[in-house]
Amino acid sequence: MTVLAAPSEAPAFELPRFGRLVRHAVPRVFEGMILPVAVFYVGMILSGITGGIVVAVAWVYGGVVWRLARRRAVPGAVLLAAGTVTVRAVLALLSGSAVIFFLQPTLGVFCASAGFLATARLRRPLAQRVAEDLVPLPEHVIERPVMRRFFARQSLVWGCAQFGNASLSLWLLLSQTIQTYLIVRTAAVAVLLSGAALLTLVDFRWCLRALQRDTSAGI
């Protein structure tokens, strides 16, 4: 466990061990990236494109019902996903094209990429906003110059990673079969984003060590 001493009376900041971070991330990657594709693919095999779309929508709403049944709060992101997938499904079924179903998320990734890249030089880049949502970073850590440079770098890293993700997804969607798109995109994006996440973790640990050296030196 990496511990960063804080100035004055602020609590120290601890970075969880790598294994704990992986155990935290893997179920979310599996639930958010792999299972939805697997569910759509199974539905498509059994009942064609329409079956895949219907099963994908049912999967999202099933998650909402499951949370409600367990008396758990439904995150706003899940409700937004449910509304979005409904609109995508209706448009795809009306047009008879599965491309429409997958096009909107791809365009959304392009927008995310632009957001990361456009804010890299701002005082509070998008990478910092995302990090604050995922990890409760203390204010005294965020405000240090080394961390500001970290967030600027990570906005560039994730902007480029998401641009590669969206570009590959769009090419596969427009040039390959839906089956090829699902399999190749899922594997390629998992590798791409895992690599970006590993770079982020290594960079973060380096920044914490730099902060510890500065603290020890009284800077």
Q: What is the pLDDT along the chain (219 residues), one digit of tens a residue?
A: 445 544 544 445 555 565 665 666 566 666 665 677 778 878 888 888 888 888 888 888 888 888 888 888 776 556 767 777 888 888 888 888 888 888 888 888 898 899 999 999 988 888 888 777 666 667 777 788 888 899 999 999 999 999 999 999 999 999 999 889 988 988 898 889 889 988 988 898 888 788 777 666 655
At 164 the pLDDT is 95
Closest by CA to 171, choosing from 181, 159, 179, 158, is 181
Res 88: pLDDT: 83
Q: What is the pLDDT of residue 98?
A: 83
Q: How far from 128 is each of 90, 134, 137, 193, 194, CA to CA, in Å?
A: 35, 10, 10, 17, 19
Residue with tokens 């992101």: 77
The angle subtended at Cα 187 by Cα 182 and Cα 188, nearest 5°, is 100
pTM: 0.72
**pLDDT given for residue 10 in this prediction:** 46
Predicted local confidence at residue 167, as pLDDT: 96
